[in-house]
């Protein structure tokens, strides 16, 4: 598979789409067997739009619901540290079992911000599912319940993940080529 160029940088294939499908299937299975009743999945836009669409098709829990929030912390290939809420939650969260769907957890700043959004909402439970996780970059103590794949501290794009807003449409996940 060929390298691709986005803006000024070159990327090489890192996780081909066939492997992504296997990771997503495995993650969905873990969620399905966790016996969470009437879950409300909340996908974090923009990055998780493809992951959320694919994982939801593999969820077999009755009465599952999905909603979306939009947050942003990245500029280029570096986390800015501050996370802004761009689209908030509208529905009633009281007594709901929340499962966050994230494309990638890096420093954990976004996850911490999300947890703040759910404080004082009287939710029943809170779990986090992420397609990718960078354990060496993670700075928080918040447990991550469902992890698709742990990766090194490489910058990745594709399958929803962007480099300055482009590359989200790529079917494979690519990493920065050195």
- What residue ranges bind ligand IMP (CB under 6 A)? 44, 47, 73-74, 79, 102-110, 155-157, 161-162
Q: Which is nearer to Mg ion, 61 or 129 (CB)?
A: 129
Give the separation between CA 129 and CA 51, rounded to whole angstroms. Answer: 11
Find the shortest distance in angstroms from Cβ 100 to Mg ion: 11
Decide if 92 contacts 109 (C-beta within 8 A): no
User: Which tokens go with 65?
Assistant: 């619901």
* Interaction residues for Mg ion, span 76-105 (CB under 5 A): 103
H helical segments located in the chain? 17-32, 49-56, 109-118
Based on the shown chain and the rule CB under 5 A, indicate whether residue 47 belongs to the binding site for Mg ion.
Answer: yes
Coil, strand or helix: which one is 21? helix
Residue 106 interacts with which of ligand IMP, Mg ion, none, CB < 5 to 8 Å by class: ligand IMP
The closest of 111, 106, 168 to 135, measured between CA atoms, is 106
Q: What proportions of the chain, in percent to the nearest 5, are helix, strand and coil? A: 20, 40, 40
Q: Of these residues, 106, 141, 154, 164, which one is catalytic? A: 106
Based on the shown chain and the rule CB under 5 A, indicate whether residue 160 belongs to the binding site for Mg ion.
Answer: no
Q: Which is nearer to ligand IMP, 32 or 79 (CB)?
A: 79
Give the separation between CA 18 and CA 31, rounded to whole angstroms. Answer: 20
User: Which tokens go with 72?
Assistant: 């942003």
Decide if 106 is catalytic: yes
Residue 105 interacts with which of ligand IMP, Mg ion, none, CB < 5 to 8 Å by class: ligand IMP
Residue 150 interacts with which of ligand IMP, Mg ion, none, CB < 5 to 8 Å by class: none
Q: Which is nearer to Mg ion, 54 or 103 (CB)?
A: 103
Which residue numbers are catalytic? 106
Question: What is the binding site for Mg ion (CB under 5 A)?
Answer: 47, 103
């Amino acid at each position: 598979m060929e390298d691709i160029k986005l803006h000024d940088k070159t990327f090489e294939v890192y996780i081909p789409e066939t492997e992504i499908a296997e990771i997503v299937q495995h993650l969905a299975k873990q969620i399905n067997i966790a016996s969470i009743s009437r879950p409300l999945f909340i996908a974090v836009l923009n990055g998780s739009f493809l992951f959320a669409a694919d994982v939801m098709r593999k969820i077999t829990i009755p009465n599952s619901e999905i909603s979306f929030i939009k947050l942003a912390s990245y500029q280029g290939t570096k986390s800015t540290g501050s996370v802004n809420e761009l689209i908030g939650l509208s529905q009633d969260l009281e007594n709901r079992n929340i499962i966050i769907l994230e494309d990638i957890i890096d420093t954990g700043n976004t996850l911490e911000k999300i947890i703040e959004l759910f404080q004082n909402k009287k939710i029943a439970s809170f779990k986090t599912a992420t397609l990718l996780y960078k354990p060496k970059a993670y700075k928080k103590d918040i447990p991550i319940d469902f992890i698709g794949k742990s990766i090194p501290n490489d910058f990745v794009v594709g399958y929803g993940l962007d480099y300055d807003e482009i590359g989200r449409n790529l079917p494979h996940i690519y990493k920065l080529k050195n």
